[in-house]
Structure formats: C-alpha cells, structure tokens
Amino acid sequence: MKSLITLFKSLFYHAGLNHENMQGTGFFYLLKDAAKRNGVEIDSAVLENQRKYFHTHPFLVNFILGMWLTEYKNGSDPETFKKAYSSAFGALGDSFFWHSLRPFSFVFAAITGTVDPFLGIMIYLLTFNLFHFTFLFTGYSLGMELGRDVIVWFNRIGFNKWPEHFDLVSVFFLGVFLAYIFKTGAEISVDVFFIAAGYLAMGLIMAKKLDITLGLMINLILSGIIFFQLGV
C-alpha cells in the first residue's frame, strides 16, 4: 500500500521543475510524505536541505527515495549516495526510457495501428507503461530494502545493456512496419519502389549531418517545388 501511494505521488514529482533547484521541490515533497508514512523523524535542518538542487530520471526517483530513508534510519550519510545515484539514474533512465523504450513501443504500436489505430495506441500505452509503472512501483520498496546497494540490483539485471537489446528489436520491427505501410499505403510498381528506397536512403544520409526537422524541411521544400511545377 505504501508503495502504491508513493507511486501515485511520484507521478507529480517533476511538476515544480525549474532551473534553480531542478526537481528538488518534488524530491522534498516525496521525502516528507514518505518519512511521515514510515514514522521516520527527519531532523529539520536535514529536511530543509532537501529543497535544494536535485535532478534524476522521474521513473527512477523512488529508488533514491527508498535508499535515502533506509540510509537515514541506519544513521549513515544518505546525501553522498543521493548525489551519486541521482546522476547515474538520470543517465540510465534517459538512455533506456527516452532513447530505447519509446521507439520500442512505437514500432509495435505502428504495426498494430496500421490495422486498427485505436489498438495501436493501446499497445503503445501498455508497452511503455508496463515498464514505467513497474520501475516506479518496485523502486521504492527495493530502495528501502537494499539501501545504498540499490545500484547492485541494476547491475544484476544488466540494465545498462537493455537499451541496445531493445534498439535491435526496434530495428527489426521498424523494417517490418515500413514494408507493411509501403504495401498498404502506396500503389506498388518498380518506379514507386525505387522512390521509396530513395527516400529511405536520403533520410539515412541526411541523418548523419542534419537535424531531423531541418532534413524534413529540405525534403518538403524540394518536393513542394516539384509538385507545384507539376500542378499537383
């Protein structure tokens, strides 16, 4: 039950994000509440210190929260681990959740969505949130249980390797999706096939040097001039 309440409250942890203390307000908000529910009395000066700078990935904050409370109860210095883990979890979280899990959820949603768009977005939301909520829910109890050793759990599950594995799966299904959307969305002929292959190659080449929106704008301007000349 405690984990459920923490999970719910941690959904708003980054609402006060600003460039002064980053997510320090959110961490203070979560810590004060979790300490109260666990009957932990935190020294007012120590608690006041928690309003200061803090920044980590929002889906992994509960690991640090649980770890902090355990280390504080044990009389050790939770601040050192909080600082070290906040940047480590920030990098791990960005790499997995933002870089890899989103494309992973996307490819399955895109394939399903081509048949039924509503089912597609359901797949997207279910795939992403399965990981999102599992990490938020288990994070607090694991942090409480393992304390400063919480990072060991990430090493045990090989979390730093997940992005690459997920990306390879995404690459395969991106191929499946493109073949499928091409078959269903365009009238297939040899010319059209080469145009599609050319577009993909152009994207791959431009991606090496250009930002995606700049690349798209160049594509749109060139295509626009051609279409306008052709009167379409």
Partner 1 sequence: MTQLILLLAFSGIITVDRAAGFNTMISRPLVVSVIIGMIFGSVELCFLGGLIFEIIGLVDVPVGTRIARDDSFGAYAFSLVLSYHAVTGMSNFILALMLVIIFTYPVTMSVHICRKINKRLYLRELTKGDRFNAAKLVKLGLLFHFGQGLVVYNLAFVIIYTLYQWFAAYLPGNDNFIPYMVFTIIFLSGFLLRFLSGNSYVKYLLFLGGVLVGWAVL
In SS3 terms, 93-142 reads as: HHHHHHHHHHHHHHHHHHHHHHHCHHHHHHHHHHHHHHHHHHHHHHHHHH
Token pair listed for 22: 């980053």
HSE of 208, CA atoms in CB hemisphere, 13 A:
4
Nearer to partner 1, 3 or 203 (CB): 203
Nearer to partner 1, 93 or 147 (CB): 93
Q: Which of residues 22-81 bind partner 1 (CB under 8 A)?
A: 22, 25-26, 28-29, 32, 44, 48, 51, 55, 58-59
Nearer to partner 1, 2 or 227 (CB): 227
Of 33, 56, 31, residue with least CA distance to 46: 31
The answer to the question of residue 18 lying near partner 1 (CB under 8 A) is yes
Q: Provide the mask over 204-223, with x wherever binding to partner 1 is found by CB under 8 A and - wherever it is not.
A: xxxxx---xx-xxx-xxx-x
How near is the Cβ of 146 to partner 1 at its closest, in Å? Answer: 24
Stretch that binds partner 1, among 10-18, 35-43, 64-72, 140-148 (CB under 8 A): 10-18
How near is the Cβ of 74 to partner 1 at its closest, in Å? Answer: 25
How near is the Cβ of 225 to partner 1 at its closest, in Å? Answer: 10
For the chain, state the CA radius of gyration: 23
Of 24, 7, 6, residue with least CA distance to 86: 24
Of 128, 130, 110, residue with least CA distance to 119: 110
Q: Are 177 and 111 in contact (CB under 8 A)?
A: yes
Q: Which of residues 122-151 bind partner 1 (CB under 8 A)?
A: 124-125, 128-129, 132
How near is the Cβ of 226 to partner 1 at its closest, in Å? Answer: 9
The answer to the question of residue 19 lying near partner 1 (CB under 8 A) is yes
Using CB under 8 A, which of 3, 7, 137, 173 touches partner 1? 173
Nearer to partner 1, 4 or 205 (CB): 205
Q: Which of residues 74-113 bind partner 1 (CB under 8 A)?
A: 90, 94, 98-100, 102-103, 105-106, 109-111, 113
Token pair listed for 191: 């010319």
Spatial separation of the C-alpha atoms in residues 143 and 70, rounded to whole Å = 8
